[in-house]
Structure 1
Amino acid sequence: MIPDVIWSGVIASLITISGVLISNWSNTNRLKLQLQHDAAEKTKERTATLRREVYLRTVEELVKVNTHLVGLPQLDLTKINLGDGLQGFNSAAARLQLVAEPKTAAIVNQLQAEYGELVFDLMIHLMPASNAKTDIQIADEMYLKTQMEVTRILSEMTKQNESGTPDLRTFEALQTNLAFQQTQADKFSEERNAGWIRFTESNFAFQRFLISKLRDINTKHIPVLIAIRQDLGLTGNLDEIEAQMKAQGQRMESKFDELISFFKANESAIQPTPQQQIR
């Protein structure tokens, strides 16, 4: 008994409500997708920022490691730990393990192990240079003591001469002691010079061994740096970058060989003077 016009109104209302519900459902889904997308982008951005900081720190510490290894012969092994120079790189590598892609983390971990093994190998090759430095230090200290004694004796002899009535026996004793101290000074000076020669030769041998080891390790630097560039989304011809890095390593090794040859050819001219040895 309900008029058709009422049914028409009810049906129209239902259609309108259905349209509103469908529109709201669609808008809600789009909003959810947008929020999910924004959250994913923010996560990617935070990850990229964190990775950039960690990766750059790792590369920086990697450069410091090589500098530390080259300078090991100049350090006093009784006062420092050879592994101290690797602490920065080890810390950076540990942080990198948390944020890097699995492939990048794996090759950095392998590189870290290579450096750890290298430190143990270097300990043996550092001993000749370390022993030479010890001999130099001992000879230098004794040389300085004899020089101080020579200065004291000369002062006493001057006092005897200036007194007007020098004691002949005392003066002769001072002369004898002076000759002995000068002989000792010459002896310690020669020992110090011999120590410097041994140190120079040991240092060259150490650097040659280190260069050969770093040549092998540097081949593992290239995959690390390329993986880091890929993780950071940096574009470029990776094959060209790899070729450039290999060529740079070969040039550095060639220049080192030239430097060693120059030192060998001018060994007598580059020996340190007594003043340089004291410093």
Structure 2
Amino acid sequence: MASIPAVVWSGVIGATISASISLFGVRSANKGSLRRLREQHDYDREQANEQRQHDARQKEEDRKATIRREVYVKAVEEAHAVLAYIGGLRGRPLPPKDDDAALQVFLKANAKVWLVADVEGAALARELTSLMSELYIAAMQAANHVRHGMTSVRRQDERIEFAPGAAQGA
């Protein structure tokens, strides 16, 4: 080693010190980058989990809204159908055939509203059921007299319709 000049040793020592300083700087920078990268990954993971939870809640709300919309639309349709049926009760013949069918379909549709509505909506649906049932019974009672009277008119119409056909066939 004595044969190696001092200049070479100074170069080797300087290079070693420079390499050590560079190694320390690179390791420090890498360590800091790795820490920031881990923090970023943790933050991204948390954000992704929150987004998934939000999406799941939103999907559930959308599903509930779709079910509610379908149930509400059906209930409104059946309410209008039972009102139309009530409006046409006087013209319906006796003996009654499925006079309660329209009301039963409405009651079934309205019962589904109770299942999907909030507390206030369910209370309103129950009130509507009571009112509609009362209206239905009152309309049946009011129309019953007219329906009995129309029975003889219908029989007379059938006789009139049958008479020309019998006369033409003879």
Aligned-residue offset at 1:137? 4.5
2:151 is equivalent to residue 113 of structure 1: no
Q: Does 1:67 pair with 2:51? A: no
Stretch deviating more after TM superposition (40-49 or 25-34): 40-49
Over 3 Å counting, the alpha-carbon distance change for 1:117 and 1:4 in structure 2 is: same
State the match for 1:52 in structure 2. 69
Are residues 1:92 and 2:125 paired? Answer: no
26, 33, 55: which is aligned to 2:43?
A: 26
Cα pair 1:93 1:112 within 8 Å, conserved:
yes
- CA distance in 2: counterparts of 1:5 and 1:147, whole angstroms: 119
Q: How has the CA–CA distance of structure 1 residues 104 and 26 changed in structure 2, closer, same or farther, with 3 Å as cutoff?
A: same
Is 2:75–2:113's contact at 8 Å kept on the other side of the alignment?
yes
Q: TM-score, normalised by structure 2?
A: 0.67
Q: Select the structure of larger CA radius of gyration.
A: 2
Alpha-carbon displacement from aligned partner over 1:91-122 (angstroms, at most 9, x marks no partner):
32222223223222221221012111222223
TM-score, length basis structure 1: 0.44
Match of 1:15 in 2: 32
What per-residue deviation string (whole Å, max 9, x for no partner) do you get for residues 187-215 of structure 1? xxxxxxxxxxxxxxxxxxxxxxxxxxxxx
Give 1:1-279 correspondences, 5 Å limit.
Answer: 12-137=29-154
Change (3 A) 1:46 1:140: closer
Provide the aligned C-alpha RMSD in A: 3.6
Please give the alpha-carbon distance, in whole angstroms, between the structure 1 residues aligned to 2:126 and 2:96: 29
Mark the runs of 5 or more structure 1 residues left unpaired by the alignment: 149-279
Structure 1 residue 8 displacement after superposition: 6.4
For these two proteins, the number of residue pairs brought into alignment is: 149
What is the percentage of aligned positions where both structures have the same residue? 27
Unaligned runs of 5+ in 2: 1-19, 166-170
Question: Partner amino acid for 1:40?
Answer: R
